[in-house]
Structure 1
Amino acid sequence: MIQYVHLVAVLLAGAACITTASESANRWAIISVGECSARCRDEAPGLRNLTFGCYAGGSAGLVALPGTSPKLYAAKSDEGRLPDDRCSAIQMPSIQSVECPPPVSCTPASLTSQYRWRFDFAGDVRCSARCNQIGSLSVPARCVDAKTGQVADQTQRCESREARPELGLPCYQFEGCVGPVWKAGPWGPCSRPCGLGEMERPVECYQLVDSPEGPSYHLRQGQCSHLDEKPHLREYCLMEPRCPPYYRVSPGKCRPHFSAPGSSSEQRLCNETGLTRNSPQCVQLTGDLRTRSNTTVRVSSSNCRSLPRPPPFSKCQVDVETLRQYRIKCINASAAAKEPQFQLAASSILVQMERRESLQVKCGQSATVIPGTRVRLHCPVANFKPAKLGWQRLSGRRDAVRTFTAVKSFTQCRSRICQIDGDLIITRFRPKDSGVYQVSASNVNTTLSLHSHSAYEAYVQAYLPRMMLLMQPNSNSASGRPQAQLDSPNRDALLWMTGPWTSCSVPCGGEGQKTRTVHCEQLRSSSYSVVPDDSCLKLLGDKPPMSERCGSHVCPVWRAGPWDSECSTQRCYSTGFSLLTRRVQCINQANDTLPDAQCGHEPKPESVHRCRNDLCQPEWLTGPWSKCSVSCGAYGFSSRQIRCVWRQNGGPAGIACENLELPKGYQACYNGPCERLGCEDLSPVCRIYQASALCAHPSLRRNCCKTCGEYQLHVYRSLQSTHLVSGSRTAA
């Protein structure tokens, strides 16, 4: 199959890089097709080798194979045959073999049969392809006697061994072809800058004349309806797998200000605005071409730290059915005209940047407070007495609601959190005080939320970035006006606060996009709040851009140097193999070397390649024997160093010798008795121990010097006869 695909690529690429027969008087031609290499009972297909020979151009012994490009020729006779060196200046065709199925019969008679199939290029050679399509070259096969070369009278002689074969050469039929075809245009841009999107392309019906590269003219779509398959108009695309993280809000059930089902009967405005609890989660959309889908996954909340956090509650429309479920009577707007009305804060987010004595948080705000600050929760209300407001701290569980008792002054406050004149005062804020607080005026409710962050986090994440922006008044927005400016003499300031840019949707070589968050902030002495964009538009002008084009520069590429000279001269890697290396660098247009990460858009070529080296064979290398451990008078041991090395250059081979027999590293040795002047026995009892091993004791060996010396010589000769000691008196 690989051979077939390769030749198809050659057919479609044309003959621009190969010297064809039309450019030379001589040409290569197929003179024979070998037998299939697959044997009986083989499951995988085999190969038929093509043998080429040199022929004179225009010879009657040649036949041009239709539909092949570059044009292939086959020999139908020996007329015009030349020596092969006459075609040495012409490149031989790249196709050298074709696939073939294994034999169908495995009987002894078929295996010993002398009849074989032989391709006859002198017959009717045709291309099976339809107009402007790729097909297979049909070459007649004749059953012949392999010994005599005569054509058999019956094809069954060959069919018993192998079915009638096909040559399997691909061909493309376009000569004289006139017919409508589908033509697909270039792909358009991706529908999404990040995640899985779609791109489209035009597909039109055209009439071709003579060849695919020849003239053509446009037809109606219906004139190509009879064709087999129309190219698809849409395709999935993935510019950037991951989109920037964002807050996803999952609203809960719309409730009439969190009244519990089964409560006492109340009266509410028909279709009034209720509240639903929001569950913000930091998520990121990820596209996958394999599954052809976009998946939104939850990520760490630190990824959304630069984004404004959504309010914990949002308004919703309560329907009559929900009011009935909560046993609430529906009344019209005129009856509810004098109901209490809360005045919500203009800013939705309030963040404390540095320590201060007190901080006021209004209803409708989500405030982040430094522990130790005195916090006043204030909710202005119309048509209701503030002293009668009721405060509660809500939780995710209905049984964990905390209610606060109202007092008239601080002297009556016996806890850290007290309600005075309609305001809820936290004398010293703690992280455990974070949560959602609800204030009620009769049947009307509203909420605010408190969060905690340390003084260090407030300084690094909130104070420093905004002070640096104020100290640079010339940092302009898109309108050319300052991005931050004081809006009053009391040091309050308005500024466009921008988040960090996301990574570009395409690294290079195209038109990508990067995005960031931009919101208007009102900066006070120790806190800031997020306000509507209209406040900044009046004073600062246009809003800084939230998106920007990127990735248009030319992509860097990998540059691979030449491989090392020859495999036989390289360092051995394993038994029978060496390693060839080359230098692979990431470079730009100016040939500057860049970090490899900047070429990550395409795979890096291999820099190390394993090659066959028959010189890489391991062997044990032994060193010289050491001196005997005992100089005389007793037998000892000598040793030598043994190393595993490569036979090629003597380099260390590690564990490559583990299957080879290890040579001896130790051997016994004896240098004979010690020759001393006057070595005599000093005791008459020495002969009693003549055959004893007690001569190993120093005291006995000293008193029986002569006897023990003769005994040691006897032991040495015994060991020498059994090849346990070296043949010489000293081991070199």
Structure 2
Amino acid sequence: MLCIHSFFFCIFLIVELTFAGSWYNWGGWNECSKSCNGGLSNRRRMCYGGNCIGNDIQYRLCNTQKCPSDDIMPEYETCQSYSGSTEWIPRQKYQCSVSCVGKTKLIPDMISINLADGTKCSKHSSHYCINGKCLKLGCDGIVGSSKEVDDCGICDGDGTFCQERKPTQDKHVYQWDVQWTFCSVSCGTGFQTSRVSCWNIKYGQQVPEFYCDYKTQPTESKRECSSASCGPQWKTSLWQSCSVQCGGGVQRRKVTCVHMAGRYKTLEVPSYRCPDPIPPSERPCNIQFCPSNWQTGPWTKCSATCDVGVQGRPVYCMKTFVRGIKVNVSDSECFGLKPQNSRPCSQPPCFKMLSFSPHIKQDNSTFIQLKKSKTIRLKIGVKAILLSRQSVKIECPVDNFDTSLIFWTKNNRLISTSIFNRVYVTSKGALKIKRTDVSQDTGIYTCIAGMESGNVVIEFQSKKIARQEAKKIKKIMSNKSNNEILNIPQSDIIPGRGPQNIIALPSETKHSKDSAVYITSDWSKCSRTCGYGFQTRKVTCNIVTDKYIKIVADKQCHEEIPENHRVCTDNPYCPVWRDGEWSECSVKICKFDGIAVQTREIYCRVENNQSITLPPNKCDRKVRPQTHRQCINKECEAIWKTSKWTSCKPRCAKNGKKTRMLSCVWKHNKKQAKDNCKSKPKPLLRKVCRPKHCKRKCFDMSRYCSITKLLNMCRYRTFRDRCCATCTNSVLT
């Protein structure tokens, strides 16, 4: 059993000794990443011969002095350094990272960014942030070092240098120093900011803050500082809102000459005492054109003096330019329905025409019943919406015809003249329906007189809907009785859902039973979601009572017809993508051999005003233009770049090797070219060399050499080379 365990251990020992690597010496320190406020410098080393234990890079702190005019906290500086058109501010700070959100809150996303390398993990800490991790800083200034200052003030000392001195003599070697900045203003009252730093008073040098006792660290503060009087200065107020929304307006502000009479007291003085130039008190604003709209002129006189004629009026599409100048433009630039430019007009008949053919007088109106009556009387040509269980009489007035010869049909089926039926035709040609039934009486009723005919459409509605309509009418009539109805419909002023609005007759007119008024429906939705669109609504002339509503022809209403369309806008800005010019196909951005990359800026802007830029999330991402494209540039050529050969190693062997590093770079600027050299032959990376002859030093290269001796493994050459001292002593003994 012992032999089996020894065999596996020998295998592990052979692998460990065979593949262990060695480090080259450390390279030089590169430049500091910052000029102040603490930066980082690094150096590297290379591993050869296998797997090396340890890191191949070291960091050390440099330029720890504070910047002379830097009041920005690290987390603010990190968020503001994030690229993009949105300004970012910190939301939550962590040890070595910060969460940032958009200042304008237009972008709901949150991003996490690592703090800059060299930033302190906390205010009173000797740990610093490297690649988002908090690492300790040794007294030698190297990140990750375990070296500390001993009681004698010596870095990595053993405390024996000052054994004969009292320990208290070096307590005050490091002390805090406070210095004040220059005054923030050159005249008047400003402020100064204190700068606190840690100094080694023995050598007169500034050192990192963790050398000093943070418990006694003074707090940074501000104080007022006074200089010479500034004299009279111009003082301006905030700009007022623009005088108009479009077409060119003016913004104004107050400009006064003031003099500081005390720390917080100002006196207004004559303007000549202030220096030139005088700040402007006015500036133009909203210079974009106003949207075009329809405008009408007055109606002309009727074209005929008797019978039926025509009235006309001019209709223009007008656009308002800067300073209120109106110009007639093409009709295609106006939204909404074009107002009518002609209408029929009636005059007294020129002479009475004689006719012996039948003529049915039709009432082309709509009748809506609100409450039950004893009998509803209708005329031919009407569309009736009734309540159930209601008695109805429909007359069919005919000129030049015997009414006893009139007959009626329902849905093309003849109606009886028997008075014993529920539905019948009277001897004078009228149609009577006793107690209407929804299931039987809905339909089209036709009155036929000779070659003439006319229809009546009967439909039914529920009592609930009738009560709702009656409630609206009651509100309308209440407003009319109190003379509170305006000449302009409420819906013309405040668009949106709500009860129907009405234009009434003038207040001095008495409202008779048959007086007609205009009723308007709600405005439709805006035809466009952005920019300027139009809305429409239905306008009808109505005879309104507490029992019914009758929709009649517009000529029965004596007031101006309310507007049935208007311009609207939910959002005046229509976001669209605008792209800039492509950059030159330059070798500065090479992609592949013979291929470079062109770039361009894209912006989210307002469609009708290119000077207004919107956040990118306001525009449609699906149609976002591309910002990069490939182009042909023969100067883009990737080549292999080699470093210098290393010295011949190992130094004391018969044969040695030299190595060098290999990287793929662009030929014109030697920047990294990534994988573009894969298809190209690689230069030689190793070559045989003959090292200088020297006496070989015999030493053990593994911590397991003592076990090698016990297992009698020195008879193998590999173990004799790796455990030279142990195997040599074994032979001697």
TM superposition score normalised by structure 1: 0.28
Higher relative contact order (CA 8 A, sep 6+): 1
